[in-house]
Structures are given as structure tokens and as C-alpha cells.
A and B are shown apart, each in its own frame.
Chain A
Amino acid sequence: MNEDDNAYESLAAAHGGEERWAFGTGFDDPLAGVEQAVPPGVDESVRCLKLGDDALVLSQRLAAWCGNAPELEDEMALANIALDLLGQARLLLTRAVTIEPALRPAAAPPSVPAEDAMAYFRDERCWRNVRLAELDDHLDFAACVARLAVLTIWRLGVLGTATASQDPVLAAIAAKAVIEGTYHREYATGWLIRLGDGTAESHDRMQRALDAAWPYVDELFADGDRKEFDAVLDAVLDAATLHRPGRTARAGVAGATGRDGVHTEAMGYLLAELQSVARAHPDATW
């Protein structure tokens, strides 16, 4: 068998014969050839921050499924999605700080890169993710699927809009993320349909999980239109034999929600787990 026949050997060959490809050598840089300078008069820092925080917080929640998914294959799928989102978050948060250096938290030592400063040294009130991303799914697969389906349907639309950004870096990140997000949506809605249109037990649990997520859905549309989201979701719910929950939106605190830095109780625990090591050893390297 020559290397053209073997997926793994040809991959190593494509990366200059380096056998270390498993650790990420030779991959494409999504920002290759993209103009890095911030165009005058264009400030997309807040949009980068919101998209980045949604991705990072959801990635952290999905990472908790490592070792806990109902099937080995789904464990890989959830980890892949988590890593895609983590990659998006790294680029987006780096871009947000490049545009607006004041976003960088003062608590971060100067040696820490911008993306790490934003992830590990930022207090809860400075996080702009939607609350649905931070909720604890308590490793209930139906809750994981409900949240993931809603967020991936929504995010694909948001990212599609961002591909037309005046900021070339944000547009390039969004173009990469749309491709990833298309798969994320297919995976999540596929499970929503399987569980909804499965057994009586799975249908019931899927509906309850969707009901539980529903009060946090309105918040997603503070910035934009939900027509496209509703059309996609209705088609999915129809295929899944689930009904659109009737529960009312969960109000923010004095009108303030996740986008304003006002989060649910779950967020503090999530950040503690995410940040405690980096904060205890701020100058640590590995």
C-alpha cells in the first residue's frame, strides 16, 4: 500500500512528512492573507466579544461531556464541536482586544496572551455571553441537545451576518465558523429529531429539556431578527414531533441579561472551574 492509499500516511506526507500531525502541525491558518489592520471608523470589538464569549462558554459546557457521553462516538462529536468553538473563541477574543485594548482585564499579568487574559482573568460581570450558553445541563443528554440545537441554529444565522462585516478579520473568522457551524447544527438537530421522534420516553424527555431551555431563547434576539431562526426551528420541531414551548421568557435583572454581563447562578461555578488554576498560578507556563 503506498501513501496515496492510506489516509493517515498521506496526511503526514502533506505536512512535510512530519509524523506529529496528531498534534496539529500543518493545518491551515484561517486568517492567512487577511488584512490585520483595523479599518478606520469600524469598531466590531463588542460583536467579537459577544460571539467569542458565547463560543467559549458553550465550549466549556460541552467539554464537561468528555468521559460522560452516552456513546463513545458522541463523546468525540461533542468534543469536536467544543474544540471548534474554542478555536472560534480564541480568534474572536484576540480580535476584540486588538480592536479595543481596554477590554483586557487588569488582573492578567502582562506576559499572558490576550486570549488567555480574556478567558482566565475576566470577572463575571465582564462576560457578554447569552445565558443559555452558561446553564448547567447536569450531564442530561436531552438538555445538552436542546441547548445545542437552539444555539447552533441561532449562531449559524448570526455568523452568516458577520461574514459581511466591515472588519476583514471578523469576516474571515465568521466565514470559517459558518462551515463549522453548519455541521454543529446538523449534529444537534439530528439528535433533537431522533430523540423527539423516538420512543415515548425519549420524546417526553426531549420535550421537557426544550421547555427548560425556552425561557432563555428570547434573549438571543436582543440584537436581531428571529424570523429565520423560527422557520428553521419550526421545521426541526415538526420533524421531531415536538411542540414549541409556550413558556414565557426569563426576565433579566432590571432588564439586564447575559449580554449586559448579568448572568445566572450557574456562571460563577463555570468560571470558577475555568479560571481557578490560571488565577492561582498566574505566571505558570507549560
Chain B
Amino acid sequence: MTVDAGWPLYEVFVRSKRGLNHVHVGSLHAADEQMALLNGRDLYTRRNEGVSIWVVRSDAITASSPDEKDSFFAPSGDKVYRHPTFYTIPDDVPHM
């Protein structure tokens, strides 16, 4: 097995049977997008997990920096009023 094939890394997102959104499940190597889809199918849905797959090249993702964690996220830590928990939600509103 080659350790480094020179193939780009892709991030894989799978939507489960009952899930409404695609969830990140892992990453893989592939030569192009089509191969990444096939490989994603073979690596991450072989146990009947998914009904849909997204793949995206890892280097196409812009991520927040761990150094900015405090300035990015800490300010929201004490603002409980931003949660919509003070509303009464009718029982027949789904997915809340």
C-alpha cells in the first residue's frame, strides 16, 4: 500500500436515513470528485448508514483558527437571551 499517493484529501458528509442534514463523517483520498464519491460510498456507507453523500476537497474548506477561539466564540457564552427558549412552540412544529 502506498503511504502517499499524491491524491488530494476530501471531506465526506453523509445524510442518514432519518437525518435532515449532511453530517461530516471523515475524510479520504481520491483522484477526483467522482472517485471521491465512490470511495465515500465504500468507506462510509457500507453498513447501511446513508442515503446521500457530499464530498468536498479539504483544501476548499476555510476553517476558523484555534487562536481565534476566544474572540470568535466566547462572547456568545453568556447571552442566554439569544436562545429562542422563551417561545412556546406548538407540538406539531417538526424538527425543532
Q: Contact residues of A with B, CB < 8 Å?
A: 1, 4-8, 10-11, 14, 21-22, 27, 67-77, 80, 183, 186-187, 190, 194
Contacts and interface: CB of A to CB of B under 8 A. Distances in A.
Contacts, number: 76
Contacts of A187: 38
Interface residues of B, number: 31
11 contacts: A4-B16, A7-B25, A21-B48, A70-B2, A71-B7, A72-B1, A73-B30, A76-B42, A77-B39, A80-B42, A187-B38
Contacts of B1: 67-72, 75
A190 B34 contact: yes
A198 to B, nearest CB: 9
Given A73-B43, A77-B38, A8 B49 contact: yes
A11 B49 contact: yes
Interface of B: 1-2, 5, 7, 14-21, 23, 25, 28-31, 34-35, 38-39, 41-44, 46-50
B19 A76 contact: no
Contacts of A70: 1-2, 5
B29 A11 contact: no
Nearest to A11: B49
Contacts of B31: 194
Chain A: interface secondary structure? helix
Most buried by A among B14, B44, B47: B47
B28 to A, nearest CB: 6
Contacts of A190: 34-35, 38
Nearest to A183: B41
Given A4-B20, A73-B28, A73-B29, A186 B38 contact: yes
A4 B2 contact: no
